[in-house]
Structure 1
Amino acid sequence: MARPRSAGYDDQRELILARAAHLFAQRGYPGTSMNEVAEACGMSKASLYHYFRDKDDLLVSIADGHVARLEALVDQVLAAHPPGEGRARALIERFVEEYADAQNAHRVLTDDVRFLPEATREAILARERRVVDGFAQTIAELKPALGKDGLSKPLAMLLFGMINWMFTWLRPDGALTHADMGPIVADLFFGGVGAVKAPGKAKPRAAAQRGAKRITEKET
């Protein structure tokens, strides 16, 4: 008979994932032991195994959970916003804000998924590809010619290049927050450097229209 779960089981599991993600991000997956994870969580190693069967199980839960949240976020934005610049901006801003509380998980996904068995790694990468496809679809909707020319996905990857590595330089206690950076990334993507404005400042209507026109105008 299976051992019943305690009332705080899910909360404890999330705490373990957060502490493990921090350790993996700081020390690397190979350099972190289950003993160290247990110590960071204030529990015995035996108790830790009640929640996760081994270190691979921890890594899968961190990486797959992170990508699953991103995938769900794409689905939510696509369902809530019609095709257009508003949808693309919502995707960008929501992703940047999501990364504010997922920096350790994202570093683990970037650096440590390679240590997983091939089938498990491919399942996680397939989720990542669906996230990229959601962005590429949104870009192609703005300018269909980009999709026909095979450029919507490369543009999506360039956009992710701005977003994904933000954790390497954006300090949690710095002058700019993730909430500040979301609109900045969107402005830069749509209108270039000239369209970027400081946080809290309203964008002039003419500049906003020019930024939208650059990416949405039809080819002649």
Structure 2
Amino acid sequence: MQKRLRGPERRELILRKAAGLFADRGFHGVSIDDIADAVGVSPAALYRYFASKEALYEAVLDDLSCTREDYIETVLSPASDFPTVLRGLVQVFVRGMARQPDLLKMELHSLLEGHAAAEAFFEHRWKTFTDYIEYSLQELRREGRLGRGPDPRLCALMFQGMVREVLIAKCLPAGERFDDRGLDELVDGLVDLFLRAVGYPAA
């Protein structure tokens, strides 16, 4: 006989099952009936916890994002030079995402589907990097420590794409191309490549 779940346990099960379905099929590829079937409840029972599919999707994102690492310690570390802080931010970010591959899949689906969540992903996950890169490159150029180069916004966009590709290579079952390299090693290589690309002086 199946154990009867209490309200909070049932809600957690719904979020877990919905996250897997949204990650595999995207927002538009999943119906309330699909989620209800996966949980083993009726659609009406599902609506007692979430008013709509959109509300459930947002709750899944909130649930996954609430385990996000905090960047404050990295930014306030004693070593505050641009390469060290950037490397630390990326390491914190990719380790968190590696533990939450469903979140990466949902982001990719939202980008392809044009879902409003795509903007939320940028605001809550990527903007830390883009803002830090743009501000830091502008400051370094004003101080004369970095030569004139590409628009800092383009540099930030390039970096975002590089980080996303590392995550796809290591966190999704896309092949074995980088099986011989750990996540930290790829991050180090990525940051070194980026620093050379923007003309940051070698140590």
Q: TM-score interval w.r.t. the shorter chain?
A: 0.5 to 0.7
Task: Give the distance between the partners of 2:16 and 2:165, measured in 1 at CA.
Answer: 20
Which residue number corresponds to residue 187 of structure 1? 189
Deviation at 1:156, TM superposition (A): 2.7
Deviation at 1:61, TM superposition (A): 2.8
Deviation at 1:138, TM superposition (A): 7.3
| 1:57-77 deviations in Å (ceiling 9; x for gaps) | 12223345556765x633443
How many residue pairs align between the two structures?
A: 187
SS at match of 1:115: coil
**Alignment partner for residue 74 of structure 1, among 67, 71, 75?**
71
Name stretches of at least 5 consecutive residues in structure 2 with no aligned partner: none
Amino acid at match of 1:131: T
Which residue number corresponds to residue 59 of structure 2? 61
1:1-220 to structure 2, matched below 5 A, reads: 9=8, 12-63=10-61, 73-80=70-77, 82-84=79-81, 85-112=83-110, 114-116=114-116, 125-128=122-125, 130-136=127-133, 139-140=136-137, 144-145=140-141, 151-170=151-170, 176=179, 180-191=182-193, 215-216=200-201
Change (3 A) 1:126 1:88: closer
SS at match of 2:27: coil
Which residue number corresponds to residue 198 of structure 1? none
Answer whether contact 1:136 1:155 (CA < 8 A) is retained.
yes
Task: Give the distance between the partners of 1:110 and 1:28, measured in 2 at CA.
Answer: 9
Deviation at 1:149, TM superposition (A): 5.5
Deviation at 1:135, TM superposition (A): 3.8
Change (3 A) 1:31 1:7: closer
Answer whether contact 2:166 2:186 (CA < 8 A) is retained.
no
Bigger drift between 54-63 and 166-175 goes to: 166-175
Deviation at 1:56, TM superposition (A): 0.6
Name stretches of at least 5 consecutive residues in structure 1 with no aligned partner: 1-5, 193-210
| 1:164-184 deviations in Å (ceiling 9; x for gaps) | 234544367867499x21332
Answer whether contact 2:61 2:103 (CA < 8 A) is retained.
yes
Task: Give the distance between the partners of 1:43 and 1:76, measured in 2 at CA.
Answer: 43
Question: Structure 2 length as normaliser, TM-score?
Answer: 0.67
Answer whether contact 2:79 2:85 (CA < 8 A) is retained.
yes
Q: Percent identical across equivalent pairs?
A: 22
Change (3 A) 1:125 1:94: closer
Amino acid at match of 2:39: C
| 1:75-97 deviations in Å (ceiling 9; x for gaps) | 44323454223222111111111
Change (3 A) 1:79 1:40: farther
The structure with the largest helix share of the pair is 1
Question: Structure 1 length as normaliser, TM-score?
Answer: 0.63
What's the RMSD between the two structures over aligned residues?
4.0
Task: Give the distance between the partners of 2:157 and 2:150, measured in 1 at CA.
Answer: 12
Amino acid at match of 2:186: I
SS at match of 1:157: helix
Task: Give the distance between the partners of 1:147 and 1:8, measured in 2 at CA.
Answer: 59
Change (3 A) 1:122 1:167: closer
SS at match of 1:170: helix
Answer whether contact 2:11 2:49 (CA < 8 A) is retained.
yes
Amino acid at match of 1:144: L
